[in-house]
A and B are shown apart, each in its own frame.
Chain A
Amino acid sequence: MGVFDIIGPVMIGPSSSHTAGAARIGLLARHILKSEPTAVKIIFYGSFAKTYRGHGTDRAIVAGLLGYGADNPAIRNAFSLAAEKKLPVNIETSEKEMLHPNTVKLELTGIDGKKMEIVGVSLGGGKVSICEINGFAADVRGEEYTLLMVYNDQRGVVAVVSSLLSEKDINISRMRVFRKGKHQEAVMIIDTDSEVPDDVVQKINSLEIMSVVIAIDPL
């Protein structure tokens, strides 16, 4: 922890978890969608569902999806900015019990019609985690460069990917692997100290077993 974790973050009020964290979830979701969103459905759970208006959680999420950071006063006018871009925003609340009190589900459509379902949680102090992408368990925090891969579970994939990274001197700081079952769909998430260059991302993407490869920049 550093000085600017205490004197910071710089943010739009009122709440680091319900406003700044929400903006970061929106922005991170935009990075994962890799596109300008063309339709947005937001479902709030728990404390988010009860207090989102008073905290501007809805506006913060929309501003993040439009590409604005947690310190951007544009958060206040997020709905008019969305209207200008003709982005339809649909907000719902759910009483379903979630693991974390500050949970939001985003159903997003991208420019090419691609649909994505992203679940994010706000952990406090502006820290967040995208904990589910298209039904897969994940843990993307936007604090480092992250490579997210969906593929068919089989032997050796981790070794292939990690050797492609080490060839380029890219150091792995954190790594998680989830799978639906043996030889079924799997997700690998790798955080790295430096950016993964496009050619490496493409090389990984060209592996036959890969179905999705997304490189996510830190926020």
Chain B
Amino acid sequence: MFEYGTLADLLALAQQHDMSVAQVVLQREAEEYEITKAEVIEKMQMRIKVCADSVKEGLYDQRLSMSGMVGRDAEKIEHMDPLLLGNIGHRALLYALAVSEGNAKMHKIVACPTAGSCGIVPAAVFAVGEAKGANQERYCNAFFTAAGIGNVIAKNACIAGAVGGCQAECGTAAAMAAAAVVDILGGSSEQLMQAATLALKNTLGLVCDPVAELVEVPCVKRNGFYAVHALTAAEMAMAGVKSVIPPDEVVTAMYEIGRMMPVALRETSEGGLAKTPTARTIQKKLQHMS
């Protein structure tokens, strides 16, 4: 039976059995839930379809969120030509904003790993996949790779902002996205682990301080930032750059930092951006509305 508790286990399984990380994750899922691999793949394809639809819907809907704080920034990015980022980075930013704005406007999304960070993985995967002509199988593998990374982080650290701050949500999403992108690019299992590690390592300390307790500010724009961040990590890993601190130690560090983080900066809106004069004014105005 395939079982992995750490990123090192996951990598070792892939290397021992001469399989990809995605194949290990797929096989473990089929064994654990006693269903066929074909059924697991079908479930994944359904979710990938929802992800793709959420990009389209988010781009199409040009309303603001109920609070009025977010909603039309994807449109601005769509209406300009790539200036500094290049086409893939520009698309990743655009898609992440679209999905995350859609989430704020009650669209259907796939929590990935959470609703607050739902734009990062689809954005990075689709932006790179489109440029590289990825087919359905390739997308599926990329998402299984992302899931394997996410599963280990959820198991050994956390993926909830209330437990570990935004590093647990957007940080995990960026790690998942970076690994998935390396998978699409045809990098090795070792390289995708490094991509995940580099991405996560460089989100450490990120706090969760949403304005007016809503999944809007800074969440929506942050999804855009970390979709591009994942590409940076993937670019480094593909070049052979390695994290000095090994993957599982970075995961542990993330958890430890999360536990040390004051409660005011863990989704309670009692500190940081949520306590700025402007945020307080917005919150008062919104409370007045209700």
Q: A14: which B residues are within 8 A, CB to CB?
A: 65, 103-106, 115-116, 214-216
Check B111–A125 contact: CB distance below 8 A: yes
Check A51–B213 contact: CB distance below 8 A: yes
Check A5–B154 contact: CB distance below 8 A: yes
Q: Does A115 interact with chain B (Cβ within 8 Å)?
A: no
Q: B287: which A residues are within 8 A, CB to CB?
A: 50
Q: B85: which A residues are within 8 A, CB to CB?
A: none
Check B115–A6 contact: CB distance below 8 A: no
Would A13 and B110 be within 8 Å (CB), given that A1-B154, A6-B150, A125-B160 are in contact? no
**Alpha-carbon distance A50/B210, docked complex (angstroms):** 13
The residue of chain B having its C-beta at the shortest distance from the C-beta of A55 within the complex is: B214
Check A6–B286 contact: CB distance below 8 A: no
Q: Does A16 interact with chain B (Cβ within 8 Å)?
A: yes
Check A12–B107 contact: CB distance below 8 A: yes
**Alpha-carbon distance A186/B155, docked complex (angstroms):** 36
Q: B143: which A residues are within 8 A, CB to CB?
A: 7
Q: Does A190 interact with chain B (Cβ within 8 Å)?
A: no
Check B50–A6 contact: CB distance below 8 A: no
Check B43–A4 contact: CB distance below 8 A: yes
Q: A73: which B residues are within 8 A, CB to CB?
A: 106-108
- Interface set, chain B 119-149, CB cutoff 8 A to A: 121, 143-144, 146-148
Check A9–B40 contact: CB distance below 8 A: no
- Interface set, chain A 1-57, CB cutoff 8 A to B: 1-16, 19-20, 47, 50-56
Check B106–A76 contact: CB distance below 8 A: yes
Q: B106: which A residues are within 8 A, CB to CB?
A: 12-14, 19, 56, 59, 73, 75-76
Q: A12: which B residues are within 8 A, CB to CB?
A: 106-109
Q: Does A117 interact with chain B (Cβ within 8 Å)?
A: no
Q: Does A124 interact with chain B (Cβ within 8 Å)?
A: yes
Check A13–B107 contact: CB distance below 8 A: yes
Q: B213: which A residues are within 8 A, CB to CB?
A: 47, 50-51, 54
Q: B102: which A residues are within 8 A, CB to CB?
A: 13
Check B115–A13 contact: CB distance below 8 A: yes
Check A20–B108 contact: CB distance below 8 A: no
Check A6–B113 contact: CB distance below 8 A: yes
Q: A50: which B residues are within 8 A, CB to CB?
A: 213, 287
Would A6 and B147 be within 8 Å (CB), given that A11-B115, A15-B116, A16-B115 are in contact? yes
- Minimum distance in angstroms from B255 CB to a CB of chain A: 16
Q: B121: which A residues are within 8 A, CB to CB?
A: 7
Check A8–B212 contact: CB distance below 8 A: no
Q: B32: which A residues are within 8 A, CB to CB?
A: 2
Check B154–A2 contact: CB distance below 8 A: no
The residue of chain A having its C-beta at the shortest distance from the C-beta of B25 within the complex is: A3
- Interface set, chain B 242-282, CB cutoff 8 A to A: none
Would A13 and B118 be within 8 Å (CB), given that A3-B40, A4-B43, A71-B108 are in contact? yes
- Minimum distance in angstroms from B73 CB to a CB of chain A: 16
Q: B16: which A residues are within 8 A, CB to CB?
A: none
Instruction: Name the residue among B105, B116, B148, B215 with the largest chain A CB count within 10 angstroms.
Output: B215
Partner of B47, one of A1, A10, A75, A125: A10
Q: A64: which B residues are within 8 A, CB to CB?
A: none
Q: B105: which A residues are within 8 A, CB to CB?
A: 13-14
- Minimum distance in angstroms from A101 CB to a CB of chain B: 9
Q: Does A142 interact with chain B (Cβ within 8 Å)?
A: no
- Interface set, chain A 72-96, CB cutoff 8 A to B: 73, 75-76
Q: A6: which B residues are within 8 A, CB to CB?
A: 112-113, 146-147, 150-151, 154, 159, 176
Q: Does B202 interact with chain A (Cβ within 8 Å)?
A: no
B interface residue numbers (CB < 8 A to A): 25-26, 29, 32-33, 40, 43-44, 46-47, 50, 65-67, 102-116, 118, 121, 143-144, 146-148, 150-151, 154-155, 159-160, 162, 176, 212-216, 286-287, 289-290
Known: A10-B47, A50-B213, A54-B216. 19 other contacts (CB 8 A): A3-B26, A4-B43, A4-B147, A6-B112, A6-B146, A6-B176, A7-B44, A7-B47, A8-B112, A9-B111, A10-B46, A12-B106, A14-B106, A19-B115, A47-B213, A51-B213, A52-B290, A54-B212, A124-B160
A interface residue numbers (CB < 8 A to B): 1-16, 19-20, 47, 50-56, 59, 71, 73, 75-76, 124-126
12 contacts between A and B (CB under 8 A): A1-B155, A3-B26, A4-B147, A5-B154, A10-B110, A13-B118, A16-B111, A51-B213, A53-B66, A53-B289, A53-B290, A56-B106
Question: Which 5 residue pairs are nearest across A and B when measured between Cβ atoms?
Answer: A13-B103, A6-B150, A14-B215, A3-B147, A51-B213
